[in-house]
Amino acid sequence: MLNQAKTLEELEKQVISLNKEMFPNHNLATILGNGRREKPRFAFVFINPTHKNISSRKEWQGPRFPFIGTRQVWRVFYNAGLFDKALIDGINKNAEWSLGFTSKVLEFLDSKSFYFTNLVKFTGNNAELPDSAKIQMFLPLLKRELELLQPKFIVTFGLLPFESLTERKIKLQEYYTNALKRNELEFFEAKINSFKAKIIPCYFPVGRGNPKRAIEMLKMLQTLE
């Protein structure tokens, strides 16, 4: 079964195989999770990768992880105090990421005990939200990924990852307002296979989301123990 991989490396092979089987003519490479690969403090779960990630090019020879070659997410993390100034200066200055620069960003994620991944591990040709069929296809793989990682906290961007992992509905506006009042983030406990997870919802940091509110919420991560 797909969710019985014993290591992240095995799981990554399963993700690639599933993409080849289900989308044999797709022209973009599979983008996996990366960062601190064992018990990260924070696993950040986004929705789905797109063609804007330069590692979606099949000829890319470096590591693949969310938001390589893009700017806005990294600016949000920097403005929340979670990203390095030298690295954000490099992102703002250069139109393309080199393999060496990509490795430096990955090393930074590891040093901060961060792990970036996506709910749906299919790289889209546009920024459309994944349909329910793709979510159901890839959700068991995300759950196994998180079970193997054992992160201290999981931060979900947008309601799709949160609702998929917790099987509950919340009003993000209400959660955000309460968090600001208390100046702390509430986490929700959920069982992910055998793993007891602590999950924190957050606004999506780009596009259809709310970068300003995402920054405010990410700043409060430092209040967690």
Give per-residue pLDDT as tens, 170-181. 999 999 999 999
Tokens of 89: 């200066």
Closest-CA residue to 76 (of 65, 64, 91, 61): 91
Give me the CATH code for the 2-223 domain, please.
Answer: 3.40.470.10
Characterize 166-189 residue by residue with b for buried, 16 or more Cβ atoms within 10 angstroms of its Cβ, and e for exposed: beeeeebeebbeebeeeeebeebe
Pair type for strands 114-118 and 34-35? antiparallel
Per-residue pLDDT at 202 exceeds 60:
yes
User: Could you tell me the pTM of the whole model?
Assistant: 0.96
Residue type, 132: S
Tokens of 41: 């403090």
Closest-CA residue to 204 (of 129, 103, 110): 129
* 133-183 residue pLDDT tens: 999 999 999 999 999 999 999 999 999 999 999 999 999 999 999 999 999
Domain parsing of the chain, residue ranges: 2-223
> What integer pLDDT is reported at residue 2 of this predicted model?
57
> What integer pLDDT is reported at residue 95 of this predicted model?
87
Taking the C-alpha atoms of residue 67 and residue 76, their distance in angstroms, rounded to an integer, is: 12
First-to-last alpha carbon distance for the chain, in angstroms, is 36
Taking the C-alpha atoms of residue 148 and residue 168, their distance in angstroms, rounded to an integer, is: 23
